[in-house]
């Protein structure tokens, strides 16, 4: 048994050492070919662009004139399922240029969600728009 544990420890040590070498190689590769800084700069620029567009879409100056995508957390599933669904709706809103808002007429889960998370928007809070046919709702699947 001691011999087996010793072999496992040796293998663990070897794997940790190889992981460190790979990390150094990957980090060093960007420095060697001179692209590390430009890659980081491009990623920072992309992040600023995406965050700016999200902020603009989610916080329109006049919510009554904004194009909305209304989401209700109506799925009979757990937290992870609802986060996944909300992420899907958020992507759909982003791509279609709409502000994502909760429909507060949906379920008690919506009130739990809004009590535990920051609002999706600072300017367009939950709306009571169950009768509004002209406002797209999230797709059901």
Question: Per residue in 89-131, pLDDT tens?
Answer: 989 999 999 999 877 665 666 667 778 888 888 888 756 554 4
Rounded Cα distance between 136 and 70, Å, is: 6
Going by the DSSP 8-state scheme, the letter that residue 73 receives in this structure is: -
**Residues composing the chain:** 141
Question: Per residue in 31-85, pLDDT tens?
Answer: 666 677 777 788 789 999 999 999 999 999 988 888 989 887 777 788 888 888 8
- Facing residues of 100 across strands? 69
The model's pTM is 0.63
């Amino acid at each position: 048994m001691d011999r087996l544990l010793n072999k496992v420890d040796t293998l663990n040590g070897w794997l940790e050492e190889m992981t460190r070498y790979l990390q150094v190689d990957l980090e060093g590769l960007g420095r060697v070919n001179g692209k590390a800084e430009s890659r980081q700069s491009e990623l920072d620029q992309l992040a600023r662009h995406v965050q700016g567009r999200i902020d603009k879409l989610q916080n329109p100056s006049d919510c009554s004139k904004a194009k909305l995508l209304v989401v209700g957390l109506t799925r009979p599933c757990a937290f992870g399922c609802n986060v996944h669904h909300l992420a899907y709706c958020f992507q759909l809103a982003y791509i279609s240029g709409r502000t994502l808002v909760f429909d507060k007429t949906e379920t008690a889960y919506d009130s739990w969600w809004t009590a535990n998370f920051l609002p999706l928007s600072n300017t367009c809070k939950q709306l009571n728009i169950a009768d509004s046919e002209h406002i797209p709702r999230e797709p059901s699947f």
